[in-house]
Amino acid sequence: MTTPLRVLAAGDHFVLPSLITAAVREALHELPCTSGELMLGWPLEPFGRVAEVEEASDAEDQLIDALAGVQVLVTQMGPVTARVLAASPALRLVVVCRGGPVNVNLDAAKSRDVRVCYAPGRNAAATAEFTVGLMLAALRRIPQAHELLAGQGSWQGASFYTYEHSGLELEDLPVGLVGYGAVGSRVARVLCAFGARVMVYDPYIRGEVHGLRVSSLDELLSSSRVITLHARLTPETRGLIGARELALLPPGAVVVNVARGPLLDEDALCDAMESGQVSAAALDTYEQEPVPAASRLFGLAERLVLTPHLGGASRAVAEKAAAIAAAEVGRWARGEPLAHCLT
| Catalytic center residues | 260, 289, 309
DSSP H helices, 116-197, are: 124-140, 142-146, 157-160, 182-194
Dist. CA 30–CA 81, nearest whole Å: 32
Angle at which helices 17-28 and 315-333 cross, to 10°: 40
Is the CB of residue 227 less than 8 Å from the CB of residue 249?
Answer: yes
Instruction: Kindly write down the DSSP assignment for every residue of 186-235, as one continuous string.
Output: HHHHHHHHHT-EEEEE-TT--S--SSEE-S-HHHHHHH-SEEEE-----T
Dist. CA 115–CA 32, nearest whole Å: 20
Dist. CA 261–CA 45, nearest whole Å: 21
Instruction: Kindly write down the DSSP assignment for every residue of 264-315, as one continuous string.
Output: B-HHHHHHHHHHTSEEEEEES--SSSSPPTT-GGGGGGGGEEE-SS-TT--H
Dihedral sign for Cα atoms in the order 267, 271, 274, 276? negative
Is the CB of residue 47 less than 8 Å from the CB of residue 55?
Answer: yes
